[in-house]
Amino acid sequence: MDPSSAAWGQPGEFQLAIWSGAEDAHAWAPAGLPPVVEYSVLTDMFGNTSLQPYLHSSYSAGQQQLALCNYDVVDYGAETVPGVVDYFANAQTQDGDQNASVSAEEHSDDEAMSVFEDVAIAFQDEAPMRKLKMHRFPPNIAQALGKSYTVPRVVAIGPYHHGQEHLMAAEKVKQVSAYHCMISNCSVRQMYEAVVPVADDVRALYDKDVMSRIADDDFRPMMFYDACFLVQFMRYMSDEDTCPATLYDFFESHESDVTHDIMLLENQIPWQVVEAVMGFTPVTLESVIGSWKERLVDRVVIRGGPAVELDPSYEPPHLLGFVRFYLARSSKFTEVADKDEKIKALLDSVPKSKIDALSISVSAIELDEMGINLKANQTAGLAEMELTNKGVFAELSMAPLSLDNTRASWHVNMAALELCTTPDFFDREDATYLDSVACSYLLLLCMLVHREEDVHQLRTKRILQGAGLTDKEVLKFFTSIRNSLRAGLCFGEVMVKIEMSRRRRRILIALYWFVNRNWKTIVGIGSAIGAFASILKTLQSLKGPH
């Protein structure tokens, strides 16, 4: 059998074709690359934890059981709280069977309560892990936007979408990525043994129902290969000269799809696993973030720069969290605490319910009629939404948004991460403004957009840039997510300042609104008065000599 054709056979036959003991090791890399290692050697070296390319243990040649990792069909049934379900199932069975030896009445309240108590304790124990967990996508946003914001296009990262047929082709690219991570840095054994204990530690961060069906021998190589893929793609983003030519072509031709996929909330692996691989294959993370900032707006991307200063105290949960953290901010780290205190001090006297009520009262056109000018701040992070007074007028500045399908997905998934990790954005003790930046940014844009004319106004002000989506598509996007987002601290600050500006300048706003709405009539009347005055002056001059 031709190795290359075997590698790209039926999806369910992929690992068998490549990793069968009868196949040569060169099957796990493209033609032209030297052999890496024989499968039999891997079996002898690692035994039950071999580096066998992974598919779920329920796979067989020619048949796939996709339901185990498919978001739409994951079973959240009895396995979630078996004690509660079993208790009531037994009680109902015994109530209906008069001949049962044990009646339902024999189940005491204490026994029933202990079952619920166990579930409550387990639920409480998960709360401190909220920032680190590999979350599922919030159902309300998924229903509003559809699968394009939740399902990867070309590559599965982690277990939630692993094994889906349309993603199988990228498995070979993961193997090539692993090969290039090791070829000049370490042995297979060294890198794999560095990943395995980390993978075991982070396993509990995933959804328990999904992980109950995935064995360690499937999960460990999954983490290994996925981390190698991410490391090589980040090297491609930071500096194309460090990316192997065999991978460069794939990344270049699939860049939009890969960047879409690795920013999905349900398509993540813990950052500790990525760091384990980066210990052997370094990545210039400052350049990666700089490159990602360029991609967020409508600019020509220059790989390798500009570099962004990293915060050594920040420990990201995964790649999505890592990127979100640095896209959100552009201030110096020492200024973050000061800004947080200023925002909270402003909002302390304003009930959150009033902030929510304000959010429906202003559109982009209405802001213009109030004398508040919109300005795109090209160097700002997402958090830098600021209303400043400019004499009798005011200016609302914010980072511009270049909206196409991929960038829209980035923003939505960053917002979804915030919704999952921070229960109360206004919690003075446990939340900062950085915890709700993506939600605040999107919600502010949702507030500004009520109709297609508002979208056009945002384009005129350069807040919306690029031609990725039509005005109608942009309007549909914002109206779809409006009710799924929660107001954050930055959004609250802007809304309170708009209301304060409205009240302080009420007479000026009314005058400006009248002039703005009736300027053609005013100009016409002024011209008529001027013409009439000119006629009178002419008549007066003719009358003068007599």
Give me 46's structure tokens.
């690692």
The count of structural domains within the chain is 3
259 shares a domain with 180:
yes
124 shares a domain with 145:
no
265 shares a domain with 189:
yes
237 shares a domain with 167:
yes
461 shares a domain with 490:
yes
Quote the Cα angle for 155-408-423, to 5°: 90
Residue 524: inside a domain, yes or no?
no
The distance from CA 408 to its chain's CA centroid, rounded to whole angstroms, is: 9
Tell me which DSSP letter residue 388 carries. Answer: E
Side by side, the strands of the sheet bearing 393-398 are 372-376, 393-398, 386-390
470 shares a domain with 447:
yes
Residue 529: inside a domain, yes or no?
no
Residue 305: inside a domain, yes or no?
yes
Quote the Cα angle for 496-500-505, to 5°: 150
Q: Which of 325, 288, 332 is nearest to 435 (CA)?
A: 325
Query: What CA–CA distance (Å, rounded) separates 479 from 113?
Result: 44
415 shares a domain with 490:
yes
381 shares a domain with 260:
no
Residue 55: inside a domain, yes or no?
yes
Query: What CA–CA distance (Å, rounded) separates 440 from 490?
Result: 6
Residues in the chain: 546
Query: What CA–CA distance (Å, rounded) separates 153 from 262?
Result: 10
Query: What CA–CA distance (Å, rounded) separates 446 from 443?
Result: 5
Query: What CA–CA distance (Å, rounded) separates 422 from 418?
Result: 6
Predicted local confidence at residue 465, as pLDDT: 86
Could you tell me if 402 and 384 are in contact, meaning their C-beta atoms sit under 8 angstroms apart? no
Query: What CA–CA distance (Å, rounded) separates 268 from 156?
Result: 9
92 shares a domain with 116:
yes
Angle, helices 285-296 vs 319-328, to 10°: value is 70
344 shares a domain with 323:
no
Query: What CA–CA distance (Å, rounded) separates 419 from 140?
Result: 11
Residue 76: inside a domain, yes or no?
no
290 shares a domain with 164:
yes
Predicted local confidence at residue 253, as pLDDT: 94
Which of 103, 129, 155 is the C-terminal boundary of a domain?
129
Which of 293, 328, 363 is the C-terminal boundary of a domain?
328
Q: Output the pTM of the full model.
A: 0.75
Residue 287: inside a domain, yes or no?
yes
Angle, helices 489-504 vs 333-347, to 10°: value is 50
Residue 366, Cβ density class (10 Å: 0-12 exposed, 13-18 middle, ≥19 buried) = middle
Predicted local confidence at residue 146, as pLDDT: 85
Domain that holds residue 459: 334-504
Query: Which residue ranges in the chain fall short of pLDDT 70?
Result: 1-108, 125, 127, 240, 298-307, 330-337, 352, 354-361, 380, 505-520, 522-524, 526, 528, 530-533, 536, 539-540, 542-546
Predicted local confidence at residue 538, as pLDDT: 72
Predicted local confidence at residue 218, as pLDDT: 96
- In sequence order, the 6+-apart residues with CB closer than 8 A to the CB of 459 are 465, 471
364 shares a domain with 418:
yes
Residue 514: inside a domain, yes or no?
no
Which of 328, 357, 386 is the C-terminal boundary of a domain?
328
Instruction: Find the DSSP H helices in 254-395.
Output: 255-261, 271-278, 285-296, 319-328, 333-347, 352-358, 364-369
Residue 389: inside a domain, yes or no?
yes
Tell me which DSSP letter residue 332 carries. Answer: -
